[in-house]
Structure 1
Amino acid sequence: MRNFTFLSVVIGLCFLMVSFDSVDTKSKLKNKETVIENVFRTNKNVALAVIDAELINSFYKKYPKLKKYQKEVEDLYKKRAYSLIWHDDKSVSEFGALLYQKVNQLSEQGVKAEMPYMDLIDDVFNENVSNKLPQTDTELLLSNMYVFYASNVYSGVDPATLKKIGWYLPAKTISYARILDSLMSNPERLDKDENLLFSQYYKLQTVLQKYRTIEKNGQWKKIQIDSATYKDLRPFDSGVAVKQIRERLFVIGDLAQDSKSHVYDEEMMAGILKYKKRYGLKLNYALTLDHIKQMNEPIGNRIKTIMLNMERCRWIPAKLAKASEYVMVNIPSFRLIYVKDGKYDLVSDVFVGTRMTETVIFNGMMDRIVFSPYWYVPQSIIKNELKLKIAEDKNYLADHNMEWNGGNVRQKPGPKNSLGLVKFMFPNPNDIYLHDTPAKSLFEFEKRIFSHGCINVKEAKGLALAILKDDPDWPVDKIDKAMSGEKETTCMLKTKIPIYIGYFTAWVNDDGEIGFYPDVYDRDQRLDKLLYSDSVALK
């Protein structure tokens, strides 16, 4: 009997939908929606495929603020042969309710965005609302809510915009239909899925919750000092400011306990070193006025920084963290890491381009290491700097171990070569590479923006040794000889190594400790404006 009822309904629907062709187009959709709603009300055991292109087009005329999601929503239904996604029989599915809950907790994902027509979606899940939307409206609103959520959490800024803001790392491409299949088969992935988001994202999310709790509990207290009379605090100094600094170190986790002592004792020294390491500061015990101003930055600014860097993590392909070997340079932290088999094999300080010659954010494939390299002076430097120096001093080239090479100038190999004794090449249109440097004293500065765009590596020899340690053709003694500065020698890598040059002003290490770094190129400010300015349309 049930099969007969279902068959009757299907035949009836087919008859009625065909008959719509005889009425005008304007009333056609209205009649179709009425029939569909009546079927669902009178045939509770029927689960019908009722969404088609015509209804979708009608929906976006009714809800124009959602128009930008139309293509993605159409793809969802095409993949499912236009069957319902969000309804079990006539009720909204459990997964639909779960997604609605996640949208209401969007701030936990570090996102500030508002779903259009959210008041109507609220009514769908409000049992006290009797005048419910038509089921087709509810179905399509939830599909749009899903695309809204997925685009904000899993995708972030679109690839075209990324290029405009100078982010040339590989953009992540996602399929909303495939992601939906994955989430519906395992809803726990809504909480965490490292196949969808770069693992650093979830580390930042944990710290975001911690800092919001600190803000909520009023624990971020200003350190009271008189800027006009302040003198650097040093070990065994005492005062109210010392007690306040100690409390701050405890609140953020750099001290395990708060003794409430007014004395800058050994326990506090350890906490200060931990704090300075997280901020990329010079590791000593002195607390300058700049350090106190840094500590007094409002916690809201720190929370915003975390959110901005969560956004950057959305742009990174999740598979990056799973690569067996790669090099990553983070410009704001002035640091390079070489990862091998999931572990940090080497960490080195670096210095990067000035504000006039910013280091570009991009990726490449390291294919060779050049020992005792020539430095081929860029034409821009010859034109803007070198010609003037040659005009002033005829012996300038010889005194700096340089020579003409055709129409170019190059510096011969040697310990005073501007590239040092080794460089790491990865072909790119920006002519940027990693290299050693004879200017080791520059690594003593906290803010290290000195180069013409290339990345100067403090532990350059250590990086070469780490990369080649499993290559029997390049034992340590051969590397030492190649780095003697006598002649240029090239080592072609047997396996190319991915290298990523990124920009993160907040980064959480494997111990869950967050580091905050200076926004040396003002990129946080630009991203903040892009994401949160009132003039920018919400996603």
Structure 2
Amino acid sequence: MVVRDGARGRARQMMGSVALVLSLALSAPLAAETTSAFARSLATAASAEAPVAEWYRQTGYDTLWTGPEDAARRAALFAALETAHDHGLPPARYDLAGLRAAFAAAQTEGDLGRLEVAMTRSYLAWAGDLTSGLLVPRQIDPTIVREIPLRDPQELLRAIAGDDPAAVLHGLIPSSTVYAQLMKAKIGLEDRMARGGWGPPVPGGALAPGDSGGRVVALRDRLIAMGYLARTPTRDYDRSIQRAVQSFQLAHGLPADGVAGEATIAEINIGPDARLKSVIVAMERERWLHIDRTVRHIWVNQPDFTARIVDHGRTVFRTRVVIGKDVPDQRSPEFSDEMEHIVVNPSWGVPRSITVKEYLPLLQRNPNAVGHLQVVDRSGRVVSRGAVNFAAYNARNFPFALRQPPSDGNALGKVKFMFPNQYNIYLHDTPSKSLFDNDVRAYSHGCIRVADPFDLAHALLSVQSDAVEEEFNAYLKSGRETTVKFEKTVPVHLVYYTAYPEAKGRMGYRRDVYGRDAKLWQALADAGVELGADSQ
């Protein structure tokens, strides 16, 4: 676990004893030797952290928190820190109780100097965690390669030193509607857990329309508790239960057939505590994700196996996708970039890892293997296989590349969607259409395969052409590799949310196909994040 250094509670009032201590200590002008004692203790306490030490040097060791004129600022910080649990952050990290106790116990200028620094440290940790996340994600999972901007501590300190600290603290909270919906879901799940959860799990195997009896009652009660079914006395798997099961299936990425098969029952029996973990991890992901959702963008949620074009918050195009296999070097990464162009009739430059791990051993056994691929040298020239002694090379020194020219059987299909990046990840067509019939679609080497690539191309190009289908079809029929640039790049976000708000704010949940969220939750728990209650 790596923790970054860096709303429901109401602010408690400062204890009368704290106010009295501060008033007696600071209301009158301080003698030179007393001021020196405060500055010395403050400087010593701040010396271990350069940004804190630099701030106080620049301000002449003026107070942010411990002076009588700082009452509103410290009250605002205390009120903010009280909401740590609601944000899925560990309250102990900010030590609100310890800060309050230190104010109550402060007797000397040395005490106040150390307390001043402790308050600043808590504020910077709070501000950093809210704006950039508690964890350093790629150190938890190396496939989370998202670039996360970090706020400058000096900037944060200048902001809180201003005239409206409450507004500054509120402004640290992620502003996305998604974050607010996740927080609402978190509080709701904790409330449900405190009231005993969703009741007993549904026993046994599948249930279907026409069934009746105790197991149907258990299913009914579970659906009522989760909010998918209005209260009803029925013991039969009737139309109302069928519709509720369909709603549940849609919200959990399952085929919406209204039949409570084994996969559906398994999802229904997952308790609110597990769902709460997904929501808390999703809140952490939102703290990493500094994007503008109001602009037109491509959203690929890997556990949902879909790609969408979202325009001003509305999904205007959706297609199924295949993501990377669940093996260490083939899982699709998480990052954001700008899609710049598409390539029609693409050739496939086989990635180096695939070339040397999968194809070189085949070529060493039989130089005529994988005949659909060309052998090319460093200049991109096609080399005769007869001129290459494949047995003379290994994975480290093989000097050639492999390329598949445009064709109906090309691994990239007929079109690829490019956002050039160091990970060599992009969206593309595929000749393996049958894979899209599966519910769990993790089969690629890391790139995103698209079920409806021509429709996606039409949707993306429609903003710059009134004859997009005719033009695109002409490119296809030519058989030539053709690059079509976008007049305006399109943000593309490869994300991984197992909990995400769907229509009307209802939470949707997906399976943790790569186990990424499990690792993130463990890191958050190791950092002190706790669930609200025990649940069955």
- Farther-moved stretch of structure 1 (410-419 vs 432-441): 410-419
Q: How many angstroms does 1:360 deviate by? A: 1.9
1:518 partner amino acid: R
1:339 partner amino acid: V
| Structure 2 residue aligned with 1:108 | 86
Aligned pair in 2 of structure 1 residues 102, 260: CA closer, same or farther (>3 Å)?
farther
Give me the whole-angstrom Cα distance separating, in 1, the residues matched to 2:79 and 2:102.
12
Give me the whole-angstrom Cα distance separating, in 2, the residues matched to 1:531 and 1:355.
23
| Structure 1 residue aligned with 2:76 | 98
Q: Is 1:325–1:339's contact at 8 Å kept on the other side of the alignment?
A: yes
Give me the whole-angstrom Cα distance separating, in 1, the residues matched to 2:23 and 2:166.
29
Aligned pair in 2 of structure 1 residues 96, 359: CA closer, same or farther (>3 Å)?
same
What SS does the corresponding residue of 1:173 show, helix, strand or coil?
coil
Match of 2:43 among 49, 57, 68: 57
Q: How many angstroms does 1:441 deviate by? A: 2.0
Aligned pair in 2 of structure 1 residues 488, 75: CA closer, same or farther (>3 Å)?
same
Give me the whole-angstrom Cα distance separating, in 2, the residues matched to 1:425 and 1:322.
21
Q: How many angstroms does 1:477 deviate by? A: 1.0
Give the structure, 1 or 2, with the largest relative contact order (CA under 8 Å, sep 6 or more): 2
Superposition pairs of residues 65-214 of structure 1, within 5 angstroms = 67=48, 70-74=49-53, 76-77=55-56, 82-86=61-65, 90=68, 92-115=70-93, 118-123=96-101, 134-157=111-134, 162=139, 165-179=142-156, 185=164, 187-188=166-167, 190-191=169-170, 196-214=174-192
Give me the whole-angstrom Cα distance separating, in 1, the residues matched to 2:37 and 2:502.
47
| Structure 1 residue aligned with 2:220 | 246
**Is 1:344 the equivalent of 2:312?**
no
- Farther-moved stretch of structure 1 (449-458 vs 381-390): 381-390
Give me the whole-angstrom Cα distance separating, in 2, the residues matched to 1:464 and 1:50.
69
Q: Is 1:327–1:500's contact at 8 Å kept on the other side of the alignment?
A: yes
| Structure 1 residue aligned with 2:438 | 445
Aligned pair in 2 of structure 1 residues 506, 49: CA closer, same or farther (>3 Å)?
farther
Superposition pairs of residues 200-279 of structure 1, within 5 angstroms = 200-226=178-204, 230=205, 232-255=206-229, 257-279=230-252
Q: Is 1:234–1:287's contact at 8 Å kept on the other side of the alignment?
A: yes
Q: How many angstroms does 1:119 deviate by? A: 4.3
Q: How many angstroms does 1:212 deviate by? A: 0.7
Q: Is 1:330–1:502's contact at 8 Å kept on the other side of the alignment?
A: yes
Q: Which runs of 5+ in 1 are unaligned?
A: 1-35, 62-66
**Is 1:301 the equivalent of 2:277?**
no
Q: Is 1:239–1:263's contact at 8 Å kept on the other side of the alignment?
A: yes
Match of 1:470 among 463, 472, 476: 463
Q: Which runs of 5+ in 2 are unaligned?
A: 1-21, 377-381, 384-400, 530-536
Aligned pair in 2 of structure 1 residues 458, 485: CA closer, same or farther (>3 Å)?
farther
Aligned pair in 2 of structure 1 residues 130, 439: CA closer, same or farther (>3 Å)?
closer
Q: How many angstroms does 1:91 deviate by? A: 6.0
Please report the TM-score for the alignment, with normalisation by the length of structure 2.
0.78
Q: Is 1:282–1:444's contact at 8 Å kept on the other side of the alignment?
A: no
Aligned pair in 2 of structure 1 residues 393, 160: CA closer, same or farther (>3 Å)?
closer
Q: Is 2:413–2:428's contact at 8 Å kept on the other side of the alignment?
A: yes
| Structure 2 residue aligned with 1:369 | 342
Superposition RMSD in Å: 3.6
What SS does the corresponding residue of 2:434 show, helix, strand or coil?
helix
What SS does the corresponding residue of 1:511 show, helix, strand or coil?
helix
Give me the whole-angstrom Cα distance separating, in 2, the residues matched to 1:487 and 1:360.
31
Give me the whole-angstrom Cα distance separating, in 2, the residues matched to 1:152 and 1:379.
38
Deviations 1:61-97 (CA, angstroms, capped at 9, x unpaired): 8xxxxx5xx334335546656432225x626512311
Identity %: 24
| Structure 2 residue aligned with 1:525 | 518
Q: Is 2:343–2:415's contact at 8 Å kept on the other side of the alignment?
A: yes
| Structure 1 residue aligned with 2:409 | 416
Q: How many angstroms does 1:142 deviate by? A: 2.3
Give me the whole-angstrom Cα distance separating, in 2, the residues matched to 1:205 and 1:497.
29
Aligned pair in 2 of structure 1 residues 253, 420: CA closer, same or farther (>3 Å)?
farther
Give me the whole-angstrom Cα distance separating, in 1, the residues matched to 2:260 and 2:89.
35
Give me the whole-angstrom Cα distance separating, in 2, the residues matched to 1:510 and 1:321.
20
Give me the whole-angstrom Cα distance separating, in 2, the residues matched to 1:499 and 1:397.
33
Give me the whole-angstrom Cα distance separating, in 1, the residues matched to 2:368 and 2:106.
91
What SS does the corresponding residue of 1:338 show, helix, strand or coil?
strand
Aligned pair in 2 of structure 1 residues 483, 237: CA closer, same or farther (>3 Å)?
farther
What SS does the corresponding residue of 1:466 show, helix, strand or coil?
helix
Give me the whole-angstrom Cα distance separating, in 2, the residues matched to 1:403 and 1:313.
44
Give me the whole-angstrom Cα distance separating, in 1, the residues matched to 2:87 and 2:497.
17
Q: Is 1:349–1:457's contact at 8 Å kept on the other side of the alignment?
A: yes
1:343 partner amino acid: R
Q: Is 1:373–1:419's contact at 8 Å kept on the other side of the alignment?
A: yes
Give me the whole-angstrom Cα distance separating, in 1, the residues matched to 2:366 and 2:209.
50
Aligned pair in 2 of structure 1 residues 151, 387: CA closer, same or farther (>3 Å)?
closer
How many residue pairs match? The answer is 478
Q: How many angstroms does 1:351 deviate by? A: 0.9
Please report the TM-score for the alignment, with normalisation by the length of structure 1.
0.77
Aligned pair in 2 of structure 1 residues 177, 210: CA closer, same or farther (>3 Å)?
farther
**Is 1:512 the equivalent of 2:505?**
yes
